[in-house]
Structure 1
Amino acid sequence: MNGEFELSLFMISDWRIGTGTGRYGYLHRLVQRDAEGTAKAPGAPIVPAKTLVGVWRDSCELAAHALDSGSSGVWHDWLAFLFGGQYATGDPMLRPAALVLNGPLRLPDRLTGLLRDRPSVAWAATFRKPGVAIDPVTGTAQTEMLRFEEMARAGVTLSGRGRIEGYDGLDPVGREAAVALLMAGARLLEGIGGKRRRGAGRCRLTIDGLAGDFAILGRTDVPAPPTDRPFSVEDRPMAAPVARPGWETVNLTLTVEQPVLAAATVQGNLVEGADHIPGWCLMPEVARRLGGAAHALVRTGDLVVTAATPQTPDGERSLPVPKVLVHAKGAPARPTANRMAEDAADGKQYRKGFIAPGNGTIIIPGTTLRMHNTIDDDLQRPTRAVGGVYIYRALAAGTVLRAQVRVRAGALPSGWERRLNDRWRVGRSSKDDYGRVRVEAQAAVQEDRVRAVGGVLRVWLLSDLLVRDARLRPSTEVADAVRALEAAFAKAGAPEVRLTPIIAGENGRVAVAVAAGRTESWHRGWGLPRSTLYGLAQGSCLTIEVTGRLDPAVLAEVR
């Protein structure tokens, strides 16, 4: 009993779930399709999980309103437990959803394979439907308002899988209540997609794998769902174990199976994710899977997770492009000069991308653009008050990323990396169409490539650097970064070393190339926004004069 179930959606009438886009000269509105299409045969139509969750929630709200005889009660509490909180003015916290769907609902594998092998059949899975706009005054068709919409054919069954997070932690009555509410909502769900109030999208949703009994809907003593929030910290957390000097390193290979929206920034109605997965996005999942002392190691800084960056053609982990590199206009694939090593007046500075350490190739991962909307319950259409129409730009499915997990030697039992092998859900909107990655962990071979340093030290930031000035304000000043680095060297065993930043370059070369980085973070456990993380951006390069000698062990510790 782990809360997993199977969904079957039978389409009674023709249906369409659009992309929000069209094809000039052919169609005004396209249906969403599976990404596994080819140039000759388009992918099969799908029902996105986000769309299904939206209409399923509406049906469950209708059932909860009837069972509670109003807009509040124990069944509304179960509704919030299953589908999570909704963004609304005045809500102090948002509860995460316990209902998770493993991606969109698709046609059976045998049928999708047939559509790939027979392009003519694949194109026949949909058809063009003409439509017009009606003049409200005359009641006739308006001129120059003819349109064509793509429709998927009726009579097909789409299937998918899902689960209820925390199902094992519920008591028997709580399990029955959760399942009964979902099944009641499934019974009430009659239409999905566009034009469903005009006959399109008639459907029947069934749930298999969960034992439910509608008799519980008539009881008056149904208990409320658990209020304990996930990701909470124990009142008396475990102490960090004693570890040996040095680090154990594990390489993570992450294959993106669904688009990942991590470290998203909002620009108008565009929500744009990062071109990598930050380490702070992976850390909660790593700590949860390792369990036990892992949380204590995170607090003491003895468990480190790097950002997951694109894998190079050689199978290595790429690194953020140094800000000192420039490229020719319109040709970012290969750097043309290093401004720290030569006079390079011409060329454009890299603002994004990653570099392969072996051959210097620039890697810019692909992204996926999808349009979504939030429906106003009263007007039953997207409005600005509840979010309206918005766009997600996410890391594309099929991207392969590499990251590292570093733990103090001896802090965890041997073979701890095997606990990380699994499918994870990370990033924003990971309960439906986004965020699923396949993770493979393998112990890394330790390579000692650090040499003693004296004289001049060049620093290349592989992640954002957060430092504070003398007044404890977030700072992007080079002097504050150098002061923090000097303190780190002193803690690592070199208190006599003194660092002085070199700002001015010579002979047309630069000594410093920095940029500011800003992250609007979110505390998932609290369900609230955190303070803005502002500092030096990854890829920034510094030149520092070293007074004294930095041993390899000290440099390795700080790295």
Structure 2
Amino acid sequence: MSLPATFEITLDFLSDWHIGTGHGRLGTIDAEVRRDADDLPFVPAKTLVGVWRDACETVAETFDRTAHGDAWQAWITWLFGSQAAHRDDPTARAGLPPVPAALRLTPARAPAWLRAAVRSRPAPAQAETRNRISALAQAAVVLRPGVTIDDETGTATDRLLRVEERAIRGSRLHSQVSVALPSSVGSLAPDTPPVSPEALPAPAELLLRAGARLVEAVGGKRNRGSGRVVVVLPGARVDTTAVHPTVTDPRLVEMLFAGVPKPPPPPPAPSGVAEVHSYDRLYPHRRRTVRVVLRVVTPVVAAEEVVGNVILSRDVIPGTALLRTILSRAAPTSARTEPRHGRIGLGDISVGDAVPAVAGRRDPTSVTPARPVPTVWRRSDKGRGKTVYNMLTVDAERDDRAKSMSGWIASNGAGWRHVEPVMTVSTHAVVDDEARRPTVASGGVYTYLGIAPDTLLCTDVVLPVGVLLRLDRGERLRFGRSRKDDFGLVEVVSVADAPPAPTPPDLGTGVLRVWCVSDVLLRDERLAPDPSPQALARALSAALTPASFAVDAAETVSAATRREGFGVAWGRPRSSQVAMRAGSVVTLAVTGSVDPDRLAELERDGVGERTAEGYGRIRFNPPELAAERPSVNFSDGPPVPGSGASDGRATGPADLADGPTEPVHPLEINAWRRAIRRASAEMKPGDLIRGIDRLAGNRAQLGSLRAQLERLTLPGGQDMVRHWIEGTRAVPARNEAWSTHVLNDLVLLLLDDPDRIWRCLKLAGDQPDLVLHPGREDAVRQRLHTEALTTALTDALRHLIQATPSERRDAAPGVQLQHGKERR
């Protein structure tokens, strides 16, 4: 079966594995495992791409060495992109621009049904308040202690005990893989056979399948047994019947049946040709506003600034990043209205920034976009209080110590809601190919700050009435930095016409207040950037002739900002953009009459330069600038992704229609083991076997009982244990030492009453927090019955053997032990 352009791969872990966050928890864990939003371990796409590329490069080098060429290496560059920083990169040596990667992956996560089941399980009562994760999520990791060995003494070094988390073996994760194929045959390199849009080229498929077979381990300490994994592509299967599980891939066998393949033709040329769009308006008729709602799936890094090894992100996706996708999806609704072969002019379109949005409580599909806080708003208590003042209409009280506000606001009918988009931090490392670990020479560690998953974003797109935006609900797009792997994946929630614009503002007072809801690009008479209120007044005077405007400096609060960018097609940084910052408020004195309809058009289309990319969005005399003390609802708790939006998560029991085929999942096994160990450690020996406290300190008899635990794991072990109990009854001294009721309890616990151990451990009946779905408890208890007996009895015997003399007297009054023998 040939690989399609989009397919899914499965990672089956044969050992525990560790992909860490780079830090631990003080006093408990030295190295934490990375978890997703459902508190389950996952494999970042960067990690998976790195090991997969390394394996594919090994395959390509082997093939090229046989053919004495570099044809296969060219396909590696096409699939995974060039490495400009690598000294052996052929693209960099030839002085060519970087080649983008055609291969894109999503992080490898647990299946959706498992994440929903874990998410719906309650957190245990004894869990800490700041770490209220379910027992199943806690069971996804195990603890592995370690020490440092001194080179001279060969013994453990003092004070260097280390405890790290590792994800459990048996984990099965899934990743979505897509390969961007050329859209037309014309974009192919010369002498390259046509590429089917449904299937991968054969050389690419061969490299991916052969490379997947060579991937044996991922994550930390993979050279020392950790992270053993098999990567399964469509059509392949894992043989678990052998001692060492192996992967069988019939398609790979078929492709290599004739031996080493011949050198392939050149790969498709990257589609680096930019489409040219006219600056004119090609559609003179009316325009409409379409509201597109997006949900962040993986963190989005809209790079704003680089500080050392930290890449900071904006809390919005700029319209500059959205424009190319929107242009490619804009198409005329009728061929008769199609000018210039369906092209759309940049004067016809305006793509706003994708700003944070708040979902409606009754209708989650309806959202309210947030706006930047006006610069004239002041918040009490040095920016941390509950009272907000509008400096245009009222002065703040001196005792309130009001300061400027930051963030976003969204209208909620009665007032406004303060919105703080959640940002997430992701730390990664560049692994040296030779050392197989991060080094200073390879680039070391770097950190991305991005918009957190499940955040709702909203952008308003202005289009001609005769143009349709071809975006479907559920479609997935990629924006921002590092979007080929862990970042930049968003999902379309809805595409609908925006609500009607508010009525034109009243200018009877001769005052026009302008609120910039996005950055505004303006220039002076010499065409130099001019982010000043005077430049805005000149731009409005030119747009609203014959009216003219003058700045009222006493009621104007504005600021400037700088935007940096990078031209992917050029491979060079863009020139800096100096703009009037979003949130600025400019008060203008109006001379002459102003057409209200023209004001509404400026609110829709924007003012200044590059309005097609979301710059220049303004509001005239908005209600935010009229209220004396705006009623703002501040959230007391931490910001929540999605700002209250429904993210599609299940709140009830999980549906296991697509669940595990095995009766017991490894996650359930580990959760029950943790519960068994915890309950066993808290239980007293007398609660397990009544009266056994009389044997405290009697090492001979207790050691004999411990030996029976090993027999329970053997075939016919129960008969051997029953024979030992009957033999104990037949010896008067032993029978007197144990007593009849203790031996009877042993028979019930070990042989005749399988549920007794679960009642003693308080794990009988329903255990909703330890299973993925109700009704699976009996299968788990049957699987772990012998293990529960062994754990509980071992803890009880250890406690009895180590009992102090006072504990022995309290346990069996009138009975003394001397040299291991009873004396009355």
The verdict on a shared fold, with TM-score over 0.5 as the criterion, is yes
Change (3 A) 1:313 1:422: closer
* Separation (CA, whole Å) in 2 of partners of 1:4 and 1:551: 53
Change (3 A) 1:267 1:556: same
* Separation (CA, whole Å) in 2 of partners of 1:264 and 1:231: 26
Is 2:97 the partner of 1:93? Answer: yes
Partner of 2:206: 180
* Separation (CA, whole Å) in 1 of partners of 2:386 and 2:331: 43
Partner of 2:302: 262
* Separation (CA, whole Å) in 1 of partners of 2:578 and 2:443: 27
Q: 1:541 aligns with which of 585, 593, 606?
A: 585
| Equivalent residues of 1:174, 1:223 under 8 A apart | no
Pairs within 5 Å for 1:332-411: 332=384, 334=386, 336-344=388-396, 346-356=401-411, 358=413, 359-410=415-466
How far 1:209 sits from its partner (Å)?
A: 6.2
Unaligned runs of at least 5 residues, structure 2? 87-91, 123-133, 185-193, 237-250, 333-337, 361-366, 604-824
How far 1:451 sits from its partner (Å)?
A: 3.2
* Separation (CA, whole Å) in 2 of partners of 1:328 and 1:273: 28
| Equivalent residues of 2:22, 2:31 under 8 A apart | yes
Q: 1:447 aligns with which of 472, 483, 501?
A: 501
Change (3 A) 1:29 1:304: same
Partner of 2:764: none
| Equivalent residues of 1:176, 1:216 under 8 A apart | no
Which of the pair is proportionally richer in strand?
Answer: 1
Q: 1:171 aligns with which of 187, 195, 204?
A: 195
* Separation (CA, whole Å) in 2 of partners of 1:473 and 1:284: 27
Pairs within 5 Å for 1:214-253: 214=256, 218-230=260-272, 232-233=274-275, 241-244=282-285, 246-253=286-293
Change (3 A) 1:474 1:134: farther
| Equivalent residues of 2:279, 2:346 under 8 A apart | no
**1:287 partner letter:** L
How far 1:342 sits from its partner (Å)?
A: 2.3
* Separation (CA, whole Å) in 2 of partners of 1:135 and 1:164: 49
Pairs within 5 Å for 1:4-403: 4-36=6-38, 43-69=39-65, 73-88=70-85, 93-101=97-105, 103-112=106-115, 115-116=118-119, 117=121, 119-166=134-181, 171=195, 175-208=201-234, 213-214=255-256, 218-230=260-272, 232-233=274-275, 241-244=282-285, 246-291=286-331, 299-312=345-358, 314=360, 315-329=367-381, 332=384, 334=386, 336-344=388-396, 346-356=401-411, 358=413, 359-403=415-459
The residue matched to 2:29 in structure 1 has which SS? coil
| Equivalent residues of 1:167, 1:175 under 8 A apart | no
**1:502 partner letter:** D
* Separation (CA, whole Å) in 1 of partners of 2:598 and 2:345: 22
* Separation (CA, whole Å) in 1 of partners of 2:164 and 2:270: 47
The residue matched to 2:267 in structure 1 has which SS? coil
**1:171 partner letter:** V
Change (3 A) 1:328 1:125: same
* Separation (CA, whole Å) in 2 of partners of 1:68 and 1:149: 42
How far 1:537 sits from its partner (Å)?
A: 1.1
**2:216 partner letter:** E
How far 1:334 sits from its partner (Å)?
A: 4.8
How far 1:208 sits from its partner (Å)?
A: 0.8
* Cα deviation digits, residues 83-126 of structure 1 (max 9, x gap): 1222428666322211112x321234454455454844443332
How far 1:297 sits from its partner (Å)?
A: 6.8
Is 2:503 the partner of 1:463? Answer: no
TM, length-normalised to structure 1: 0.87
Deviates more, 1:196-205 or 1:130-139: 130-139
How far 1:371 sits from its partner (Å)?
A: 1.2
How far 1:15 sits from its partner (Å)?
A: 0.8
* Separation (CA, whole Å) in 1 of partners of 2:291 and 2:35: 34
How far 1:67 sits from its partner (Å)?
A: 2.2
| Equivalent residues of 1:130, 1:148 under 8 A apart | yes
TM, length-normalised to structure 2: 0.60
Change (3 A) 1:67 1:291: farther
| Equivalent residues of 2:278, 2:346 under 8 A apart | no
- RMSD (CA atoms): 3.1
* Cα deviation digits, residues 357-405 of structure 1 (max 9, x gap): 7412211111211211112223333234443211122111111222211
* Separation (CA, whole Å) in 2 of partners of 1:237 and 1:309: 27
The residue matched to 2:22 in structure 1 has which SS? coil
The residue matched to 1:474 in structure 2 has which SS? coil
Is 2:496 the partner of 1:500? Answer: no
* Separation (CA, whole Å) in 1 of partners of 2:409 and 2:34: 31
* Separation (CA, whole Å) in 2 of partners of 1:426 and 1:216: 42
* Cα deviation digits, residues 178-207 of structure 1 (max 9, x gap): 111111211121110000111111111121
**1:438 partner letter:** E
Unaligned runs of at least 5 residues, structure 1? 37-42, 506-510
Change (3 A) 1:383 1:485: farther
Partner of 2:479: 426
How far 1:56 sits from its partner (Å)?
A: 0.8
| Equivalent residues of 1:263, 1:278 under 8 A apart | no
* Separation (CA, whole Å) in 1 of partners of 2:257 and 2:569: 35
* Separation (CA, whole Å) in 1 of partners of 2:257 and 2:498: 55
Larger Rg: 2
Change (3 A) 1:9 1:312: closer
**1:276 partner letter:** V
| Equivalent residues of 1:474, 1:534 under 8 A apart | yes
* Cα deviation digits, residues 286-320 of structure 1 (max 9, x gap): 11222577998764321111112222354311111
* Separation (CA, whole Å) in 2 of partners of 1:166 and 1:457: 52
Deviates more, 1:544-553 or 1:334-343: 334-343
How far 1:448 sits from its partner (Å)?
A: 4.6
* Separation (CA, whole Å) in 1 of partners of 2:259 and 2:460: 49
Equivalenced residue count is 536
The residue matched to 2:274 in structure 1 has which SS? coil
Partner of 1:39: none
Deviates more, 1:64-73 or 1:313-322: 64-73
Q: Percent identity?
A: 36
| Equivalent residues of 2:382, 2:403 under 8 A apart | no
The residue matched to 2:575 in structure 1 has which SS? strand
* Cα deviation digits, residues 253-286 of structure 1 (max 9, x gap): 1122222212432122222211122222222211
* Separation (CA, whole Å) in 1 of partners of 2:113 and 2:183: 34
Deviates more, 1:175-184 or 1:380-389: 380-389
Deviates more, 1:12-21 or 1:290-299: 290-299
| Equivalent residues of 2:72, 2:263 under 8 A apart | no
How far 1:442 sits from its partner (Å)?
A: 0.8
* Separation (CA, whole Å) in 2 of partners of 1:122 and 1:502: 59
* Cα deviation digits, residues 21-63 of structure 1 (max 9, x gap): 2111211111122312xxxxxx322112221111111111222
The residue matched to 2:565 in structure 1 has which SS? strand
| Equivalent residues of 1:2, 1:168 under 8 A apart | no
| Equivalent residues of 2:369, 2:410 under 8 A apart | no
* Separation (CA, whole Å) in 2 of partners of 1:217 and 1:349: 71
Which of the pair is proportionally richer in helix?
Answer: 2
Q: 1:515 aligns with which of 559, 564, 573?
A: 559
Deviates more, 1:362-371 or 1:386-395: 386-395
* Separation (CA, whole Å) in 1 of partners of 2:71 and 2:301: 33
* Separation (CA, whole Å) in 1 of partners of 2:28 and 2:460: 48
| Equivalent residues of 1:290, 1:420 under 8 A apart | no
